[in-house]
Amino acid sequence: MTLEKIEKRIEAFLVSDKRWPIIVDFTNKGDLKNFVDHFSVGSNAIISAGKFCEKDGTIKFEELLNRIENNTNNSFLTHISGFLKLYGDNEIKSQLKTILSESINGHVVIVTYQCRNYIRFSDSRFNERGQILTVDGDFDEISDICLISPDLATAFKGSYSGFEKIGEAIETSLEKIIYIATDVKKQLFNMSVIHISQLSNGYDVLCSKDSRIKNVPESFGEPEQWNRLLKEMGESNISYVVDYVFGGEANLIECVRKYPTFKDEKKWIFYILLCIFGTKKSAYLSHVLSMVSNYKDIPKAIYLGILSLDKDDADFEKIYDERKEILPSYVDYLGEAVDYCKIVSTKQEDSIYFLTDVTQPEREKIIEWLGIYGNKYDSTQLIQILGKVYPDLAAYLSNYRFKKEFLNTYFEKYKYQKVINKVLPAFETVVEGQATELDFVSLLPARTNVFDKVDLVGARVFFFDALGVEYLGYIQSKCNEYSLSANIICAHSELPSLTCFNREFVDVCISKGCKVTDIKELDEIKHHGEDSFDYEKTKTPIYLIKELEIIDNVLKAIKGAILSDKYTKAVIVSDHGSSRLAVLHETENLWQMETKGMHSGRCCPKNEINVKPSFAIEANDYWVLANYDRFRGSRKANVEVHGGATIEEVTVPIIEITRKVDGIEAWILDEYKVITLGAGEVPTIKIYVSVVSNNISIKVGEKYYDVHSTPEQYIYSAQLDDCVKKGIYIAEIMNGSEIVTSGNTFEIKKKGMTEVSLFD
């Protein structure tokens, strides 16, 4: 029967005295909607079957039947089909037959959807009375039902909230799958003639929406975490989350550095996305990811992951570099860093190759390693190893050229012993020899004679208490890094090497109106240190880490001030150096001090001891020890010591720091590009360098030659003792550790050989 005819039949029914329900069944939702709209007028009541459900509950058929029995007006019951079909064929037939059998007041029309197969009853009275009407039309596709947790509702645009909406959804929705947000379980409807599925957690839903998520086990997240990820994803796929939350898949690996700043939920999402999309561009992250099954384990794995590798693996260096780039973002995970440093000990001598300078525990572990294994390597080898794992410490060990070979060798060996934490017998012999020879007096000018000549116009002076020349290689390296030029002069302090005898430069600065900034942190460490620096508690020189940081911070401040034109020059000057080896030596001489605790026993007033002790120097009414002894009864030094006359205690730098000049010009003067030597002569060469510096040198092959200034500014000369053979030589002109120009050539000829060639 057509829809038009049925509408006329129902119109007639509504004004008749017939008192039984009528079922009108539809093959498609369009006709059903038109029918309901047609009768949604006047006093007609359109009643949804969902009204007979509790909130998010199943239908109560008893209440529905009671409403039909007691009906008094014209009522249209809609949305019943969906509920009936959940309970299977028999229940559909039984409930509809019961409804048709009711004797009622008023008029009731039951609107059903695709139920014609269930309303073919054997009781002929239903047809005879015209209680069953079916609308001709094309069958549309009945929707499937998917029950979802209410927590997931926001992830499904257009989902229905509450089980009571099923009937409405079945008869009105045009979607292939209808999502019902409900706590009702699918298991209640085993007989359903509608296909029902259930997604009880976000993980199931995510997998149904994007199959890539199936590659991540559900156990990697809690239900509420999967649900929140589903909300983030919305109607899109997992790629949307990558783009929206982390700026795209290409940026995902970079976000590992931001991981510590993420809130917990974002950390978890980040981990899941890494699992899904992988980390092909980062070998180390791929390795880390293979070790974890919980996002909270990522920081620990970032620290420990490298330990499962061998340092000789082909890709170890690449993985090491990747880890070192990531670690600065994880320095706050101190517990993980400490655990790493415990476990890395299992690598024993190879542990150095697994350490970095990024965290304090690792830096301390490097110092510890040097104390255990450092003496197996020479200084050059240690510099090469540390250049990778702790560049600042490598820079500390690097050679600064003093223009005096004795000082070059002395401080190279001194620094080596300081980091390996041992006094070597051969070096001790040198120190004891110097206690009587006092070569530093002839090798170095007095600071008082040098500082007077320093140009302080536009300068800021930094009085760096206890800064010895052992740090010059480090300072020179940092100045190169910070685009600063360091002009360095070395001198000796007054004896005893105490501040009270070595402050004359402060008066010079005051007389010239130059401001002086005191920097006492180094001296504080050497005198007092911290508990972890105290030699009696910690034998290794971990305080060196802090010393380098203090110097670096001052140089950074100087860089900022010079580049911002607060002053044009910084002048660093020191009162004295200090000795670590005197602390390591742990010896007392026979002489008992009356005044205990003075200067850790490195010197004492003459009136306390009337006879000059061995290895002591008389200066300023003090006996000053020049070896590694200390006077008996004195307080042991905590970290380092000064007051004595060893070379490391008395040698001090004066450092003029300016903005680095770009494009320094340097070359060999033309008249020195060909040098003719007679028998026994050595060549002298002159060069032009466009800056004034005390650190200019010439390097030929692997040997450095010191240059000396000449009366003409910018002209320097050098005697090349080892360049005496006939031939062409290639030279580099250096300013400190920086190559100014390379490829400079000069030729050596021999007078005798020239004469022979003339006779020929």
Q: What is the mean pLDDT of residues 444-451?
A: 94
C-alpha dihedral, 719 to 722 to 724 to 729, nearest 10°: -90
pLDDT band at 533 (very low <50, low <70, confident <90, very high): low
Is there a domain that residue 411 lies in? no
Q: Per-residue confidence at 612, pLDDT binned at 50, 70, 90?
A: confident
C-beta atoms surrounding 215 within 10 Å: 11
Question: For 489-500, b where at least 16 C-beta lie within 10 A, e where not — what string?
Answer: bbbbbbbbbbbe
392 occurs within a structural domain? no
Model pLDDT, residue 537: 64
Contact 495, 619 (CB under 8 A): yes
> Amino acid letter at 350?
D
Is there a single domain that holds both residue 320 and residue 174?
no
- Per-residue pLDDT tens digits for 266-290: 999 999 999 999 887 888 999 999 9
Mean pLDDT is lowest, of 221-235, 381-395, 396-410, 628-642, for 628-642
Average pLDDT over residues 285-312: 93
Pick from 215, 220, 212, 183: which is nearest to 199 by CA? 183
N-to-C CA span, the chain: 133
Domain total in the chain? 4
Assessment of whether the complete model's pTM goes beyond 0.75: yes
Same domain, 686 and 753: yes
**Residue 673: exposure state from Cβ atoms within 10 A (0-12, 13-18, ≥19):** middle
Q: Worst-scoring range by mean pLDDT, 57-71, 258-272, 558-572, 603-617?
A: 603-617
> Distance (Å, rounded) from C-alpha 613 to C-alpha 624?
9
pLDDT at residue number 755: 46
Are 16 and 156 part of one and the same domain?
yes
What's the pLDDT band for 530 if we cut at 50, 70, 90?
low
Q: What is the pLDDT of residues 131-181, one digit of tens each?
A: 999 999 999 999 999 999 888 887 788 899 999 999 999 999 999 999 999
In this predicted model, what pLDDT tens digit does every residue of 94-137 receive, in sequence order? 999 999 998 888 899 999 999 999 998 888 889 888 999 999 99
Most confident option among 233-242, 299-308, 587-596, 599-608: 299-308
- pLDDT given at position 253: 85
Sign of CA dihedral 183, 187, 192, 194: positive
Q: Distance between CA atoms of 667 and 675, rounded to whole angstroms?
A: 15
Model confidence at 757: pLDDT above 90: no
Q: Report whether 400 contacts 353 (CB < 8 A).
A: no
Range among 231-240, 323-332, 595-604 rated most confident: 323-332
Residues 512 and 597 reside in one and the same domain: yes
Residue ending a domain, among 167, 199, 231, is 199
Same domain, 335 and 213: yes
Residues 689 and 545 in one domain: no
Output the six-digit token pair for 41. Answer: 């007028």
Q: Which of 602, 584, 600, 604 is nearest to 636 (CA)?
A: 600
Per-residue pLDDT, averaged over 728-740, amounts to 91
Q: What pLDDT band is residue 726 in, cutting at 50, 70 and 90?
A: very high
* pLDDT of 739 higher than 60: yes
Residue 425 has a pLDDT of 95
* Helix/strand/coil for 318: helix
pLDDT score of 143: 94
DSSP assignment of 319-338: HHHHHHHHGGGGTT-HHHHH
In a domain, 350, yes or no: yes
Pick the last residue of a domain from 199, 222, 253. Answer: 199
Which tens digit of pLDDT belongs to each residue from 14-52?
Answer: 999 998 999 999 999 999 999 999 999 999 999 999 999
Q: Are residues 474 and 618 in the same domain?
A: yes
Please state, for a pLDDT cut of 70, what percent of the chain lies above it. 95
Question: Cα-atom radius of gyration of the chain, to the nearest Å?
Answer: 46
Over residues 406-433, mean pLDDT: 96
Predicted pLDDT of residue 597: 44
Structural domain contains residue 373: no
477 and 341 inside one domain:
no
* Long-range pairs, 440-444, Cβ under 8 A, ≥24: 440/492, 440/647, 440/650, 440/651, 441/492, 443/404, 443/406, 443/407, 444/404, 444/407, 444/490, 444/491, 444/492, 444/651
The pLDDT > 90 percentage for the chain reads 74
Q: Is residue 437 part of a domain?
A: yes
Given a contact cutoff of 8 angstroms between Cβ atoms, the answer to whether 652 and 467 are in contact is: yes
Q: What is the mean pLDDT of residues 589-615?
A: 72
Please report whether residue 387 resides in a domain.
no
- Computed over every residue of the chain, the mean pLDDT equals 91
* pLDDT digits 0-9 by tens, 366-378: 999 999 999 999 9
- Please indicate, yes or no, whether residues 716 and 747 belong to a single structural domain of this protein: yes
Whether 636 and 731 map to the same domain: the answer is no
Over the range 74-112, which residues count as b (16 or more CB within 10 Å of their CB) and which as e?
bbbbbbbbbbbbbbeeebbbebbeebbeeebeebbbbbb
Domain residues for the domain of 489 are 429-660
Please check whether residue 515 lies inside any domain of the structure.
Answer: yes
Q: Say yes or no: 607 and 668 in one domain.
A: no
Boundary (domain end) residue, out of 136, 165, 199:
199
pLDDT of residue 230: 86
Q: Are residues 667 and 655 in the same domain?
A: no
pLDDT band, residue 601 (cuts 50/70/90): confident
Q: Is residue 137 one of the residues assigned to a domain?
A: yes
Average pLDDT over residues 669-696: 93
